[in-house]
């Protein structure tokens, strides 16, 4: 009985610290530069060639990281346009 009380009343020696939150970096601007896509409107045209329709304004928000969600069709279109994998579009730190 005494052992149980000691274990129950023992102070916690370690504090729990939450892990730092991981951040995701959107790399479309980097891919655009690497493949010499000079503007968002040029990228919109290339996406249209692979069957993906998106406005210049919406794609601009997406590229600048201001979009609230990412459409799977657009992400797949970007992968096709840039001939890359999903891991090339995003980086996690």
Domains in the chain: boundaries: 22-84
Spell out where the chain has E strands. 24-26, 90-92
Q: pTM higher than 0.75, yes or no?
A: no
Closest among 61, 26, 60 to 44, alpha carbons compared: 60
Q: What is the pLDDT of residue 16?
A: 74
Measured distance CA(74)–CA(53) in Å, rounded: 8
pLDDT in tens, the chain (93 residues): 555 555 555 555 566 777 788 787 889 999 999 999 999 999 999 999 999 999 999 999 998 888 888 889 999 999 999 999 999 998 887
The SS3 call for residue 31 is: helix
Q: Are 50 and 83 in contact (CB under 8 A)?
A: no
CA distances for 44 relative to 2, 54, 67, angstroms:
73, 7, 16
| pLDDT, position 53 | 96
CA distance linking residue 50 with residue 80, whole number of Å? 8
């Amino acid at each position: 009985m005494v052992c149980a009380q000691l274990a129950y009343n023992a102070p916690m020696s370690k504090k729990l610290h939450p892990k730092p939150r991981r951040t995701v970096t959107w790399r479309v601007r980097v891919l655009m530069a690497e493949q010499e896509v000079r503007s968002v409107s040029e990228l919109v045209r290339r996406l249209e060639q692979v069957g993906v329709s998106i406005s210049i304004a919406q794609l601009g928000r997406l590229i600048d990281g201001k979009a609230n969600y990412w459409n799977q069709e657009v992400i797949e279109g970007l992968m096709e346009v840039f001939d890359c994998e999903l891991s090339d579009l995003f980086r996690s730190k």
